Structure 1
């Protein structure tokens, strides 16, 4: 009795599995005719064949880490089938108790498929460099000087880890979008905002839309920021919400640094992130003086010349001291 005739005499599910193996090996014209006759002989055959194709398609769409296990078993089975042992091996492979294990494996692989990112990227900028990065989901981010992010897009969420520096985010609508730092998670659904992670302090400012700021650990209270609002987080403590001009969010993208009652020490440190300033504060009390204004990043000399005019200081060969 030929192998094709044997296939027609077993249950539809097992027969469908065997026909699939035979097709992958290649059918001769006579076998092709036997297959068509088997398929047309009963509706149960057509249903079993369709289910077997769906099952095979599901395996082929899985990540390699999942599908390789099934592919290996199928290759082993096909090799044994070529040695005239179709009926025995298929009945063992598809016996009901093993089908349960197979279903559990599929569930596990489906979970793994969801947990693996569909897109990953690490982006880092050098001192003085500003970089724009576009993402496959239509979002994009602008990365400030001396900054680093790790991007991972999953099928049910989007995550960007801001390792250091700051970035401006333009988020397209879609699955939840999270910006994660060592102290907080910022979550949005569609907005434009900036997140800064420098000097052990997190700053979030919203240009449009709204974001949720959740300190770590999650048990700590969070808050919602709307357009024109900003907040800082230091030592897991949120500052009061501050009102800001939406147009001022991420002013560094236009090559400017904006200071609002900022200490002189912090203002100079901000310039240092972009370029060596050569400035040194000789007295810590001078560093506590406050300054406000907007300055061009590439025109450090203008900033230096303005200091003695707005603060009680003098500058001599880069040293800032009392007059």
Structure 2
């Protein structure tokens, strides 16, 4: 048997395993032993890639099945007929992103050239794709390290907890006795914490603050000067490490600790707006143009936006935009704000009209 044939056979086996694991994960009742086995299986890069493709395909099919799209119905019907007859498959659905995403005013030719960017944004838009899900261990055997590069990354922890890491965010996960601990040195992470049958607490350590939960959905943001938590569901306790200072958050609240402060601060929050980034969106509510540019650039792989005129920095921005498409964001700004864009290499310079 040739090397190519062996490779093809291995690929078929891995794809089959990926589909089986996807069914198990979606079932939602995996035992601890199964979760640990899944983690070991996902430690292989080829396995993680196959799982991501399987989950993406399933998500696309599910999304399209809920749309009355005649093109999709015709394609699926033809594929089913050919499968029954044993004839060759119809062409691969390379245009899934064109079907899933709403049509735009841009030309079809331009849309095709932007297919890869749309595919990257699809993960956050469908909120179910685990692209880049890999298990990386640090030299300490019991510590799992996860890192998102230029896009958000979905992670499934061994205990069943799901994370969404913002671009440029890295975390470490370790189980110490009865405590599950996630360390966030900097960046932003959204957590859907599973309730442990042994009632093991889940602790997020970020800066000078520890956030303690038993089962909930929330976001933690960490900078050099500030730790902020936004609670979507459940109940969390924020406490200052090494002191008795603490505060408890209810759903729809945000709490924060600033370095050098003497107490926690709390306020109401709109989780759907705050967590828009987990769905692949950038939601701005009367923020400065300078702040908005920082967020847009965080998700841009190759193109950077710069202000050619510093006086534009304080212009106010509101609206919802797709993360990872700086050209589309700038086009919207040109249509609604007194700015114009000039493309110079891999930079977009903004200047006053």
Give me the TM-score of the superposition, normalised by structure 2.
0.51
Question: Rg larger in 1 or in 2?
Answer: 1
Q: What's the secondary structure of 1:204's corresponding residue?
A: strand
Within 5 Å, which residues of 2 pair with 1:85-100? none
State the alpha-carbon separation in 2 of the partners of residues 137 and 299 from structure 1.
34
Equivalenced residue count is 205
State the alpha-carbon separation in 2 of the partners of residues 239 and 312 from structure 1.
40
| Post-superposition offset of 1:180 | 0.9
Provide the residue aligned with 2:11 in structure 1. Answer: none
Contact 1:216 1:236 in 2 (8 A): no
Within 5 Å, which residues of 2 pair with 1:202-213? 202-213=227-238
State the alpha-carbon separation in 1 of the partners of residues 155 and 214 from structure 2.
19
2:185 aligned to which of 157, 163, 171: 163
1:292 aligns with 2:318: yes
State the alpha-carbon separation in 2 of the partners of residues 294 and 239 from structure 1.
30
- Between 1:224-233 and 1:162-171, the stretch displaced more is 224-233
Larger RCO (CA under 8 A, 6+ residues apart) = 2
| Post-superposition offset of 1:216 | 5.2
| Inter-CA distance 226–119: structure 2 relative to 1 (3 Å threshold) | farther
| Post-superposition offset of 1:122 | 0.9
State the alpha-carbon separation in 2 of the partners of residues 217 and 273 from structure 1.
33
State the alpha-carbon separation in 1 of the partners of residues 166 and 227 from structure 2.
15
State the alpha-carbon separation in 2 of the partners of residues 180 and 249 from structure 1.
21
Provide the residue aligned with 1:227 in structure 2. Answer: 251
Provide the residue aligned with 2:277 in structure 1. Answer: 252
1:319 aligns with 2:353: no
State the alpha-carbon separation in 1 of the partners of residues 153 and 304 from structure 2.
25
Provide the residue aligned with 1:126 in structure 2. Answer: 149
State the alpha-carbon separation in 2 of the partners of residues 138 and 292 from structure 1.
36
Within 5 Å, which residues of 2 pair with 1:1-323? 119-128=142-151, 130-173=152-195, 174-198=199-223, 200-215=225-240, 218=243, 221-237=245-261, 240-275=265-300, 276-317=302-343, 318-323=348-353
| Inter-CA distance 299–207: structure 2 relative to 1 (3 Å threshold) | same
Instruction: Mark the runs of 5 or more structure 1 residues left unpaired by the alignment.
Output: 1-116
CA RMSD of aligned residues (A): 2.7
State the alpha-carbon separation in 2 of the partners of residues 279 and 139 from structure 1.
35
Q: Deviations over 1:115-137 (max 9, x none)?
A: xx995311112212x32222232
Contact 2:257 2:265 in 1 (8 A): no
Contact 1:207 1:249 in 2 (8 A): no
| Post-superposition offset of 1:241 | 3.1
State the alpha-carbon separation in 1 of the partners of residues 223 and 296 from structure 2.
13
| Inter-CA distance 311–217: structure 2 relative to 1 (3 Å threshold) | farther
| Post-superposition offset of 1:198 | 4.1
| Post-superposition offset of 1:157 | 1.3
State the alpha-carbon separation in 2 of the partners of residues 149 and 222 from structure 1.
23
State the alpha-carbon separation in 1 of the partners of residues 247 and 335 from structure 2.
40
Q: Deviations over 1:128-164 (max 9, x none)?
A: 2x32222232322122221100101122211100122
Q: What's the secondary structure of 2:296's corresponding residue?
A: helix
Q: Deviations over 1:189-222 (max 9, x none)?
A: 2100111224644332111012122345636x43
Contact 2:307 2:313 in 1 (8 A): yes
Provide the residue aligned with 1:48 in structure 2. Answer: none
